[in-house]
C-alpha cells in the first residue's frame, strides 16, 4: 500500500471540494495515521520501505498535524477578539445615541422621530407600523430639505394610546411633480444591551439593534428624551 498515492488522491479531490472545517481535517488526519501504521505493519521485512519515502510521508503527516493546530489557534484568536469587542461595547450601556435606522422606541414620554430629506418636498407622510406590519399612526411631517425632528405622542390614528415598544418608521416624501424625494431616518435612544445577531455584535436601543458603524452622534439624555 503506497500512502503517497492516497495522499495525492485526497489532495486532488480536496482541491475540488475544499475540505471544510476541523472535523473533516481531523478525519483526514486520522486516516493518514491509520494508513501509515498499516503500511509499516504490512511491509516486507526483506524489502522494507525506502527511508527517503518514509521521511517524505512523515513530513506530510507533520503538515496535517500542524494545520490542525493552526486552526485551533485561529479559533482561539477569533474568540478572543470577539470577547474584546463585546467588552468594549459594554461601555456604551446607558449612553444615548443617534444612529441610522428605521426603528423608534415608544415610551411613556413618546418617541423621537428624526429624518433627513434630500430635497424640498411637497408632501411628507410618516408611517409608524407595529411588529405585525399594521400602520398604527400616520403623521404629516415638515417638507423642507434637510433634517427634521419631532415627537410622536404615542397616540394611534384614532387617538388611542399605542402599545409601548418598538415601531418601524417609514418616511414617504414627494415633490410637486409627485416624484419621490429621498429620506433618511434615524434611531435615537438609550443603549440597553449588547447582543449577537446573525453573528454580529450589535447594540440594542429598546428592541432595535444598532451597529456601531451606524452611530452618527451621542446625545444628551435630557435632549434625547
Band of pLDDT at residue 13, cut at 50, 70 and 90: very low
Torsions phi, psi of 203, nearest 5? -85, 145
Q: List pLDDT tens digits, range 140-187.
A: 999 999 999 999 999 999 999 999 988 999 999 999 999 999 999 998
CATH classification of 93-224, choosing from 3.30.390.50, 2.60.40.4070, 3.40.47.10, 2.60.40.1120? 2.60.40.4070
Inter-CA distances, 137 with 128, 148, 156, 169, 224, Å: 5, 18, 5, 10, 21
End-to-end CA distance of the chain: 76
pLDDT > 70? residue 207: yes
| Residue count of the chain | 225
Q: Rounded to an integer, what distance in angstroms lies between the CA atom of residue 197 and that of residue 161?
A: 31
Q: Report residue 26 as a C-alpha cell.
A: 481531523
The verdict on pTM exceeding 0.75 is: no
Q: Please, what is the Cα angle at 33 between 31 and 35, to 5 degrees?
A: 70
Q: For residues 97-124, b (16+ Cβ closer than 10 Å) or e, as one string?
A: bbbebbbbbbeeeebbbbbebeeebeeb
Pairing of β 111-117 and β 183-197 = antiparallel
Please list the residues that pair with 176 across neighbouring strands.
Answer: none
The residue ranges of every structural domain in the chain are: 3-90, 93-224
Q: List pLDDT tens digits, range 94-144.
A: 888 888 889 998 988 899 999 999 999 999 999 999 999 999 999 999 999
Amino acid at each position: 500500500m503506497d500512502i503517497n498515492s492516497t495522499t495525492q488522491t485526497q489532495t486532488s479531490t480536496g482541491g475540488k471540494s475544499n475540505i471544510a472545517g476541523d472535523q473533516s481535517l481531523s478525519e483526514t488526519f486520522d486516516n493518514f495515521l491509520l494508513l501509515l501504521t498499516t503500511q509499516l505493519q504490512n511491509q516486507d521485512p526483506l524489502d522494507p520501505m525506502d527511508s527517503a519515502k518514509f521521511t517524505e510521508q512523515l513530513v506530510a503527516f507533520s503538515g496535517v498535524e500542524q494545520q490542525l493546530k493552526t486552526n485551533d489557534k485561529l479559533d482561539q484568536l477569533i474568540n478572543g477578539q470577539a470577547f474584546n469587542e463585546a467588552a468594549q461595547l459594554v461601555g456604551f450601556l446607558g449612553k444615548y445615541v443617534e444612529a441610522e435606522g428605521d426603528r423608534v422606541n415608544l415610551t411613556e414620554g413618546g418617541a423621537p422621530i428624526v429624518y433627513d430629506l434630500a430635497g424640498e418636498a411637497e408632501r411628507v407622510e410618516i408611517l409608524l407600523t407595529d411588529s405585525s406590519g399594521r400602520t398604527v399612526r400616520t403623521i404629516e411631517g415638515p417638507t423642507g430639505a434637510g433634517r427634521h425632528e419631532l415627537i410622536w405622542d404615542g397616540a394611534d390614528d384614532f387617538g388611542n394610546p399605542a402599545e409601548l415598544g418598538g415601531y418601524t418608521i417609514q418616511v414617504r416624501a414627494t415633490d410637486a411633480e409627485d416624484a419621490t424625494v429621498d429620506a433618511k431616518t434615524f434611531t435615537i435612544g438609550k443603549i440597553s444591551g449588547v447582543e449577537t445577531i446573525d453573528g454580529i455584535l450589535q447594540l440594542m436601543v429598546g428592541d432595535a439593534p444598532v451597529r456601531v458603524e451606524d452611530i452618527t452622534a451621542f446625545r444628551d439624555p435630557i435632549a434625547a428624551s
